């Protein structure tokens, strides 16, 4: 059986005259055929050989998404060099920390400014090489075959640094066998989604290619009959999606939540007859979806689809079959909203350590909102102590770079301990409820996963940027709310959520902070997850004040009584 690199090179040769990668710039597409991508690979591989790089050495890749990024990524792996993909928007000091850890021989950048920023944070950084320089023709250029160097399944091909929600980011090593198995799984699911078709998959992508899930999508597309279009301007995302007209594309919940809120806000500004039709057709769909339809529900739903839903769906182009979503749980209401429009949202769950994916919704069966699908082929999942999800199979990473103790902690008797809490239903679909290390332990002994309550509040507070529940070691819970939002709105949301919760999970006080949480200021990870330790440290005085004030109020209340 060929490994994933051999499969991709063979596919590129078959697609010699067909577009395989494209960048969208405004309303123009800059495309590369299979042959053109192979030619770029040849140039990069020749440069690597002239530079004297040896198999097993590391090279960092620091650039925004582009066809060239893909060419460098493939060329490094084809030559046996370990590629270290980095996030171009990450703080230079964090990038320097990752590279100090893995000690790359070279840093490939598309812009000299990226390299200069890293050098300011790390004066001893290795040489920086511009894309243009590596792609320049050389008189001494050797002739290379259109095939990768032979690789064993155990050989490491990439080191992807985790987000680092607490502590330092760790370098996750993935080997040939990990990626070969994962691409067989994604191919199976994508074949199920696309069915019998003579048209290449049309795929759009806007997330940074250094993320594990993005890497899997890129490699999956290059190993299939696909045309992958890369976004170049997130401010024009809606136009780019419509112009690229994809069959499917990968998302994070933030974007899908934003789309839903945008539609609902737009409908709220339309004439009363449109608002009424939307409300009636939505209510009709919800009843029909659970098998409790009324006499006129089919009529209202057909009318809503013809006059409203079809136009909303049309913004994604005429070919859309499904949206893929991962990185965090998607609100059930949002998944149902897209189902109502006739757009299935297939959820995936996984970690970098599991080569990006553990579960993925089967497109042949109805999705279950709130769940992230069943385990992919060839892997095992079960619940361990504290309802922790543990996994084993050929997709499990061999270990962290230079961190044997951390590796031994998470890999036990062949099982990878994910740190995620979850549950599985009778249909084999998994639900993720929170992170064990995020558990808040009150001084009463109650253990509380903050994520479910934060998600409920976020749905009620669309103007809030972030909601963070705090209270570890305290007597009750409080919340930090970031963004331009009024106190009365936050209190109203708490009044709606608290009565549904047991007393120990209720939020007793809150503070609004105007700061923006972002990767650049260290409060979010590169893929948008909360860095709770950093947030607790940054806002220690605000957190302490909430508890001090609450104690004063309660004492005053008792005295008055």
Structure confidence at residue 559 (pLDDT): 41
Structure confidence at residue 400 (pLDDT): 97
CATH number for the domain formed by residue range(s) 253-318+321-436: 3.40.50.12780
CATH architecture of 4-247: 3-Layer(aba) Sandwich (3.40)
Please count the CA atoms within 13 angstroms of the CA of 45 that sit on its side-chain side. 21
Structure confidence at residue 140 (pLDDT): 67
Pairing between strand 19-25 and 58-62? unpaired
**What is the distance between the alpha carbons of residues 223 and 147, in angstroms, rounded to a whole number?**
14
**What is the distance between the alpha carbons of residues 85 and 284, in angstroms, rounded to a whole number?**
47
- Asked whether the domain spanning 253-318+321-436 has the same topology as the one spanning 4-247, the reply is yes
Among 491, 502, 494, 401, CA closest to 448: 502
In words, the CATH class of domain 439-560 is alpha beta
> Across the strands, what pairs with 331?
none
- What does the buried/exposed string (b/e) look like for 436-462 if buried means 16 or more CB atoms within 10 Å of the residue's CB? bebebebeeebebbbbebbbbbbbbbe
CB-CB neighbours of 499 under 10 Å: 8
Q: Which DSSP category does 459 fall into?
A: H
Report the number of secondary-structure helices (H) and strands (E) in the chain.
Answer: 19, 26
**What is the distance between the alpha carbons of residues 38 and 371, in angstroms, rounded to a whole number?**
40
> Across the strands, what pairs with 400?
172
Question: Cα dist. 324→232, 360, 413 in Å?
Answer: 20, 9, 32
Give the DSSP letter string of 170-215.
-EEEEEHHHHHHHHHHHHHHHHHHH-S-SSPEEEEE-S-TTSHHHH
Q: Residues 341-374: pLDDT tens digits?
A: 999 999 999 999 999 999 999 999 999 998 999 9
Q: Residues 387-399: pLDDT tens digits?
A: 899 999 999 999 9
Structure confidence at residue 527 (pLDDT): 67
Structure confidence at residue 552 (pLDDT): 46
Sign of the alpha-carbon torsion through 413, 418, 421, 423:
negative
CB-CB neighbours of 243 under 10 Å: 16
Cα dihedral angle (360, 365, 366, 370), rounded to 10 degrees? -30
Rg of the Cα atoms in the chain: 25
pLDDT in tens, the chain (561 residues): 899 999 999 999 999 999 999 999 999 999 999 999 999 999 999 999 999 999 999 999 999 999 999 999 999 999 999 999 998 888 788 899 999 999 999 999 999 988 888 889 999 999 999 999 999 876 667 677 789 999 999 999 999 998 655 557 899 999 999 999 999 999 999 999 999 888 999 999 999 999 999 999 999 999 999 999 999 998 999 999 999 999 999 998 878 988 998 999 999 999 999 999 999 999 999 999 989 989 999 999 999 999 999 999 999 999 999 999 988 778 888 999 999 999 999 999 999 999 999 999 999 999 999 899 999 999 999 999 888 999 999 999 999 999 999 999 999 999 999 999 999 999 999 999 887 878 787 877 677 888 889 989 988 998 899 999 999 878 899 999 999 999 999 999 999 999 988 788 899 999 999 888 888 888 888 767 888 888 988 999 999 999 886 554 554 444 444
- Cβ-based neighbours of 519, under 8 Å, separated by 6 or more: 87, 89, 90, 91, 525, 526, 528
CB-CB neighbours of 293 under 10 Å: 15
Domain spans of the chain, in order of start: 4-247, 253-318+321-436, 439-560
> Contact 163/525 with Cβ under 8 angstroms?
yes
Which token pair is 456? 């409920």
Structure confidence at residue 452 (pLDDT): 85
Please count the CA atoms within 13 angstroms of the CA of 187 that sit on its side-chain side. 15
Among 158, 561, 125, CA closest to 355: 158
Among 418, 549, 534, 387, CA closest to 468: 534
């Amino acid at each position: 059986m060929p490994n994933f690199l051999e499969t991709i090179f063979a596919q590129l040769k078959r697609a010699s005259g067909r577009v395989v990668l494209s960048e969208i710039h405004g309303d123009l597409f800059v495309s590369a055929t299979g042959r053109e991508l192979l030619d770029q690979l040849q140039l990069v591989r020749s440069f690597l050989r002239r530079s004297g790089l040896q198999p097993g050495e590391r090279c960092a890749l620091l650039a925004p998404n582009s066809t060239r990024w893909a060419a460098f990524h493939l060329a490094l792996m084809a030559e046996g060099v370990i590629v270290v993909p980095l996030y171009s928007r990450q703080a230079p000091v964090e990038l320097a920390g990752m590279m100090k850890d893995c000690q790359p021989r070279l840093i490939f950048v598309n812009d000299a400014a990226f390299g200069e920023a890293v050098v300011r944070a790390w004066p001893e950084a290795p040489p920086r090489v511009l894309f243009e320089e590596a792609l320049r023709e050389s008189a001494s250029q050797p002739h290379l075959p259109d095939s990768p160097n032979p690789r064993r399944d155990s050989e490491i091909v990439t080191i992807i640094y985790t987000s680092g929600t607490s502590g330092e980011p760790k370098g996750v090593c993935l080997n040939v066998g990990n990626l070969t198995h994962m691409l067989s799984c994604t191919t199976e699911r994508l074949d199920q989604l696309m069915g019998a078709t003579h048209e290449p998959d049309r795929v759009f992508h806007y997330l940074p290619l250094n993320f594990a899930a993005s890497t899997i999508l890129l490699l999956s597309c290059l190993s299939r009959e696909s045309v992958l279009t890369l976004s170049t301007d997130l401010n024009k995302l809606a136009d780019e999606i419509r112009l690229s007209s994809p069959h499917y594309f990968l998302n994070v919940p933030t974007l899908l939540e934003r789309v839903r809120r945008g539609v609902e806000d737009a409908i709220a500004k339309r004439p009363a007859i449109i608002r009424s039709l939307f409300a009636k057709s939505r209510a009709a769909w919800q009843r029909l979806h659970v098998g409790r339809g009324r006499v006129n529900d089919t009529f209202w739903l057909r009318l809503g689809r013809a006059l409203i839903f079809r136009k909303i769906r049309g913004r994604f182009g005429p070919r859309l079959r499904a949206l893929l979503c991962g990185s965090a749980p998607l609100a059930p209401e949002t998944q149902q909203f897209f189902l109502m429009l006739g757009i299935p949202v297939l959820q995936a769950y996984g970690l970098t350590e599991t080569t990006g994916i553990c579960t993925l919704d089967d497109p042949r069966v109805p999705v279950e909102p709130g769940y992230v699908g069943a385990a992919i082929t060839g892997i095992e999942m079960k619940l361990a102590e504290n309802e922790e999800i543990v996994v084993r199979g050929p997709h499990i990473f061999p270990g962290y770079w230079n961190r044997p103790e951390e590796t031994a902690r998470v890999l036990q008797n062949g099982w990878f301990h994910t740190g995620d809490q979850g549950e599985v239903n009778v249909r084999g679909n998994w639900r993720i409820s929170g992170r064990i290390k995020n558990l808040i332990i009150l001084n009463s002994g109650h253990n509380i996963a903050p994520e479910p309550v934060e998600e409920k509040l976020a749905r009620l507070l669309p103007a809030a940027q972030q909601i963070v529940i705090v209270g570890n070691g305290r007597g009750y819970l409080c919340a930090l709310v970031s963004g331009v939002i009024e106190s009365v709105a936050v209190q109203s949301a708490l009044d709606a959520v608290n009565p549904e919760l047991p007393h120990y999970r209720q939020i007793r006080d809150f503070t609004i902070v105007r700061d923006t949480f972002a990767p650049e200021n260290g409060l979010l990870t590169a893929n948008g997850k909360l860095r709770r330790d950093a947030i607790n440290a940054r806002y220690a005085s605000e957190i302490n004040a909430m508890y001090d004030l609450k104690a004063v109020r309660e004492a005053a209340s008792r005295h008055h009584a």
